[in-house]
Structure 1
């Protein structure tokens, strides 16, 4: 009798397993298509990058006045620009947004490397007293928006072991639309930001507690050294030399060298770049109410802005895939074309690209210890930063368009190619 029951349960289990496998395969086949839904051009979308400054100003007010409600107005151009930078960072991604007074559509296409297939997704968002997604289409599948949002909400809450997704959705009190514009009525963000900080710290601890601890250690160590206490600006190479010398003392294996190199870069990005970069690693500040800063700013080629571009770009490169830091740096320069900005600068872009190259070597198991040794011999900025003579900067939006039209134009790519050529002459970044 028991054997018969066992065989029956086993047969039922196998039957259910087969049904699940068939369903998964069917969904996979329905989700994958042979033609892309979106064929947008990132360079065209990035033409409006300078308009994002107004959006950032609104967000800054919402964060600083976190106990009050706010209305955030997003133009279609601003949203398209943000989608454009995603496309620059992930070339296999394409996205497009369209907003009317009746609703907004968001569509994107993803194509895996080396495969002539496409995953197409679109969603219809409706105005209302909350975030209302009418329909989400995945390939040939059409799913109720509320069901998908509920699933994603639950998944995020479970993953973060919090109610962060539910809390974020509850902050959206109303959505209104008109041609090419969306208005979000959001409630006070104080509770959400507190929860977000807690979740961020918990996730970073779960992901790499050792990296967080080492970053906090190097932040304290370098900030206590003489160069950080100097009343005059000190070269970034001195900060790097100080950090990498200590990292070399504490690294025995190649794997340890990679870990310590990363910690030094993240610590310096928080110290001489911007303290908020440290949040990407976790809670690294000894005093959460007052971030550690050097007495005077760090400089690279006698400029503080280049030192910050270099080290923040290096930190971003460690966090993402190759090209992410360049896309972000490029986007920042496009934003600077706005009136009152510093203008588009290929000099800044060169510092971004140099920082990314430095990070690439620092995280390579084959070259991590080599970098530690090389920093002990560094004599000048030219050992980590390419020459900047002749690189255009301070270009307004009008001046940029007149000279280069847009990113990815032939003339623009020639400037980027020239920066890469100069980077290739730096021994530290030379390919294996």
Structure 2
């Protein structure tokens, strides 16, 4: 009897396995396709990056006046630009957006290995009194929009153990669409932002984040050093020297050196870059209501903006995919071409790229201890930052277009390659 039951159980398990295998194979065939749905060009999309400044101003107002309702107007050009920077940063991703008075379509294609296999997704968003999605397609599979939204809401709530998904959806009180433009009428964001803060704090506690603890330590340590109290600008290399010297004392193994180096970079990015960078790691400020900052600005090549570009890009490189910090830096420069901006600067871009290179070697187990020792010996900005002579900056959109057309043109690529050549001459960044 037991042997018969055992055979029956084995047979049932084999049958279930075959059914699941057939379902997975069938689902894969339905999702994976041989042709891409989107073939958009990121450089063309990024041409409108300078228009995003007005969108950021609207969002800043909504976040600062969080107890009030707000209307956010997004142009198709702004949305396309944001898709473009994502496309520039994430390999094998392509996206496109089209907005009309009757609805907006969003489509993207992802090719995991950049071969002939594509995952295509599209959705139709409708105007209405709430966020309304008509349908979402995944390959050959079509899902009703309300079902997809419900699943997404439940998944977010479950993952965060909160009501963030529900709160986010209910904040959208109306979606108005016009040709090439979307208007979002939002309710007060205070409750949603408060819940996000709570979840962020809880996740940090749950994961026992060693990096968060170390970053908070180095932030306090550096802020208490004499150079942080200087009444005159302090070279960034001095801050790096101070932090890395302490990291060297605390590192017994290459793995120790990696996490201590990362903590120093994040602490400096929050201290001399921008305090909000610290949120990438967690709650690192001793007083959440008053962020620590130096008495005087840090400088690189005698400029505060370059010090901030360098150290913030280093922090972003540690958090993102390879190339993410470059894409963000490039996008910021494209935004600066607009009226009132400082113009496109290859000098700023050089600082972004140098910061990313510094983060790469500092975060590599084979080089982390070597970086600690090397930083203790550096005497010049040129030990971490390439020469900036001859690099164009202050380019308006008209001047940039006249000289470089767009970000994938041969002249533009040649200028970026010149920065890479200069970086390669810095001993710290050589393989």
TM-score by length of 1: 0.97
**2:278 alignment counterpart:** 278
Aligned-pair CA distance for 1:389 = 0.4
* Alpha-carbon separation, structure 1, partners of 2:216 and 2:110: 38
Aligned ranges 1:65-80 → 2 under 5 Å: 65-80=65-80
* Alpha-carbon separation, structure 1, partners of 2:393 and 2:208: 39
* Alpha-carbon separation, structure 2, partners of 1:307 and 1:316: 14
Aligned ranges 1:255-294 → 2 under 5 Å: 255-294=255-294
Aligned-pair CA distance for 1:8 = 4.5
**1:341 alignment counterpart:** 341
Aligned-pair CA distance for 1:114 = 5.0
**1:396 alignment counterpart:** 396
- Once the two structures are superposed, residues 25-48 of structure 1 have per-residue CA deviations (whole angstroms, 9 ceiling, x without a partner) of 211111001110000000000000
Contact 1:39–1:94 (8 Å) recurs in 2: yes
2:111 aligned with 1:111: yes
**1:421 alignment counterpart:** 421
* Alpha-carbon separation, structure 2, partners of 1:426 and 1:396: 30
2:236 aligned with 1:226: no
**1:365 alignment counterpart:** 365
* Alpha-carbon separation, structure 2, partners of 1:305 and 1:152: 40
- Once the two structures are superposed, residues 219-273 of structure 1 have per-residue CA deviations (whole angstroms, 9 ceiling, x without a partner) of 0000000000111110000000000000000000000000000000000000000
2:137 aligned with 1:137: yes
**2:200 alignment counterpart:** 200
Paired positions, count: 431
* Alpha-carbon separation, structure 2, partners of 1:148 and 1:399: 45
* Alpha-carbon separation, structure 2, partners of 1:190 and 1:380: 47
* Alpha-carbon separation, structure 2, partners of 1:257 and 1:325: 22
Aligned-pair CA distance for 1:19 = 2.2
- Once the two structures are superposed, residues 156-210 of structure 1 have per-residue CA deviations (whole angstroms, 9 ceiling, x without a partner) of 2111121111111111111110100000011000011111122223334445611
Contact 1:171–1:186 (8 Å) recurs in 2: yes
**2:122 alignment counterpart:** 122
Contact 2:92–2:114 (8 Å) recurs in 1: no
**Given the superposition, is the C-alpha separation of residues 204 and 419 from structure 1 closer, same or farther in structure 2, using an over 3 Å criterion?**
farther
Aligned-pair CA distance for 1:14 = 4.1
**2:91 alignment counterpart:** 91
Contact 2:38–2:107 (8 Å) recurs in 1: yes
**2:380 alignment counterpart:** 380
Contact 1:205–1:282 (8 Å) recurs in 2: no
Residue 48 of structure 2: SS of its match in structure 1?
helix
Residue 391 of structure 1: SS of its match in structure 2?
coil
**1:58 alignment counterpart:** 58
| Structure 1 alignment gaps of length 5 or more | none
* Alpha-carbon separation, structure 2, partners of 1:317 and 1:152: 29
Aligned-pair CA distance for 1:54 = 0.4
Aligned-pair CA distance for 1:17 = 3.7
Aligned-pair CA distance for 1:15 = 3.0
* Alpha-carbon separation, structure 2, partners of 1:210 and 1:169: 33
Residue 257 of structure 2: SS of its match in structure 1?
helix
* Alpha-carbon separation, structure 1, partners of 2:306 and 2:2: 75
**Given the superposition, is the C-alpha separation of residues 296 and 184 from structure 1 closer, same or farther in structure 2, using an over 3 Å criterion?**
same
Residue 265 of structure 1: SS of its match in structure 2?
helix
**Given the superposition, is the C-alpha separation of residues 236 and 59 from structure 1 closer, same or farther in structure 2, using an over 3 Å criterion?**
same
| Structure 2 alignment gaps of length 5 or more | none
* Alpha-carbon separation, structure 2, partners of 1:370 and 1:245: 12
* Alpha-carbon separation, structure 2, partners of 1:154 and 1:292: 38
* Alpha-carbon separation, structure 1, partners of 2:179 and 2:159: 37
Contact 2:233–2:299 (8 Å) recurs in 1: yes
Aligned ranges 1:154-165 → 2 under 5 Å: 154-165=154-165
* Alpha-carbon separation, structure 2, partners of 1:111 and 1:304: 40
